[in-house]
Amino acid sequence: MKSKIHRCNCRNTWTVRNRKRSITANTMLLLGKWYVELKPEKKSNPKGFVVTDRSEDIIINPSEQLIIRFDKIKKLVYDKENVLFNEHNGEYLYFADDGACYLLQIHPLPPYREIGRNEFGSIPHSHQPIPYHICRHIHYSNFPSRLSFPKLSSNARALSVDPVFIN
């Protein structure tokens, strides 16, 4: 389902909206394709959005362990006066707590001989990749497959789910 993401500066939160729900969170991670949508003819703000066609690719308040698996390439910048973005589409985005939005790429892992092993002889979790399809499945495994977002009451805050690491 198509979802629009924008920053609410009055509350310092990010908001995800689709035709059924609206969820706010401090941080978000978008693990899928996205593009920007501009509506300069609108009278009120926001006039620019980040849009994804797959709501299930959005992770609300991701843990730091998941974020460190990506490299921040550059910021996605929105010019409010001219209603323009510096990038128009991509694959991974991180919506940070400070209001910045970063374009991401998956952190390349060095060969295992360069990583080294810990004192127990195993490779540390921070250097083991989580395949995208497993990460997404784990994150939404508690929800019915036809829902894009978990059901929340109108005054509930966003959910925070930590990823599960599989050896």
Residue 147 covered by a domain: no
Is residue 94 within 8 Å of 101, Cβ to Cβ?
Answer: yes
Each residue of 133-162: pLDDT tens digit?
544 444 444 444 444 444 444 554 544 455
Residue 43 burial (C-beta neighbours within 10 Å; 0-12, 13-18, 19+) = exposed
Each residue of 28-53: pLDDT tens digit?
999 989 999 998 888 888 888 899 99
Interatomic CA distance for residues 121 and 116, integer angstroms: 9
Residue 161 covered by a domain: no
Q: State the residue for tokens 């300069």.
A: 40
Say what the pLDDT of residue 64 is: 87
Q: How is residue 154 written in tokens?
A: 């109108």
Chain mean position to CA 99: 13
Range of lowest pLDDT (69-83, 98-112, 118-132, 139-153): 139-153
Q: Pick the residue with more confidence: 98 or 10?
A: 98
Q: Where are the alpha helices (DSSP H) in the chain?
A: 64-67, 112-115, 132-139
Model pTM? Answer: 0.64
Residue 149 covered by a domain: no
Residue 146 covered by a domain: no
Say what the pLDDT of residue 122 is: 53
Residue 158 covered by a domain: no
- Domain holding 70, by residue range, is 3-139
Residue 55, pLDDT above cutoff 90: no
Domains of the chain: total? 1
